[in-house]
Amino acid sequence: MSPRKDGDTVEAAVAQAFVETRSEDPEAVSAREVARVRLAAGAKLKSLRRLRLFELAGALPARRELEDLFHRSTWFYNPAKERCTVRATGADAAPFSEKEALVLVVDRGLERRAPAERWWRHETGSQVEVREGVVWALGFEPGADAAREAASLAAVTDRAHGLLANPHFQAWSASAGVHPPWPWFTAPKRRAPKGDA
């Protein structure tokens, strides 16, 4: 990324917003319990969090204005119920711990959010691309091979294996820690069954 000073703003190529519920997330609780009880790879799963990830690409303002724009629009999150962490540069920390394994799940070909892009253009005059996916943050008990177990829990292959993505219409990519890929959407490691179109 090559930031450019422009008055009070910095024109950036990418920004990421991680949105998580303020209260316990029922979807993550259900997924965690099903993984623990039904799937061998989930036996050592200690925690599971679900965050919505918005990734913006285009001419973007500096962090403060970015945060304000995300806060103002219901296309991104509800500040009364959710918290939002913005990464304005790749050096910024994402809201994960170093030990958490991460799985980004994206509906292939349906990740763009046209209404959010229209809202952004209306508010700022700038044309940006907005993509949305889900990041699952997995914490495992000590001694578990977090990367391997997370990969086993990611793509469903049968009733006993996989949960977080159906690879027949979703792409997933794995990462870990506080500095996930930057950008993550535009160059994710796409995974699909052999023979994928």
Partner 1 sequence: MSGPRVAVVQMPGVNCEAETVRALERAGLAGEIFRWTRAARELADFAAYVLPGGFSYQDRVRAGSLAAKHPLVDALAGRADAGAPVLGICNGAQVLVEAGLVPDGGKVEVALARNRMPGRTGYFTRWVWCRVEETACVFTRGLAPGTLLPLPAAHGEGRFTSGKRGRIGALVEAAQAPLRYATPAGGLAEGFPANPNGAEAAVAGLCNRRGNVLALMPHPERALDLGQVSRGIGGEWGMKRDRALAAGGGAGFGDGPGLALFRGLALHLGVRVA
Judged by the rule CB under 8 A, the positions of this chain that interact with partner 1 are 26-27, 30-31, 34, 38-39, 107, 110, 156-159, 162-170, 192-197
Closer residue to partner 1, CB minimum distance, 42 or 180: 42
Q: How far is the CB of 174 from partner 1 (least distance, A)?
A: 17
Closer residue to partner 1, CB minimum distance, 26 or 90: 26
Q: How far is the CB of 157 from partner 1 (least distance, A)?
A: 6
Closer residue to partner 1, CB minimum distance, 90 or 193: 193
- How far apart, in whole angstroms, are the C-alpha atoms of residue 144 and residue 20? 25
- How far apart, in whole angstroms, are the C-alpha atoms of residue 5 and residue 193? 44
Contact 130, 17 (CB under 8 A): no
Q: How far is the CB of 13 from partner 1 (least distance, A)?
A: 26
Closer residue to partner 1, CB minimum distance, 4 or 159: 159
What is 39-56 written as a DSSP string?
-GGGTTEEEEEEEEEEEE
Q: How far is the CB of 59 from partner 1 (least distance, A)?
A: 26
- How far apart, in whole angstroms, are the C-alpha atoms of residue 110 and residue 147? 27
- Token duo for residue 11: 């024109």
- Token duo for residue 17: 């917003």
Nearest Cα neighbor of 13 from 134, 135, 129 is: 129
Nearest Cα neighbor of 141 from 40, 44, 38 is: 44
Q: How far is the CB of 104 from partner 1 (least distance, A)?
A: 14
Closer residue to partner 1, CB minimum distance, 19 or 39: 39
Phi-psi region of 19 (alpha: psi -120 to 50; beta: other; left: phi over 0): beta
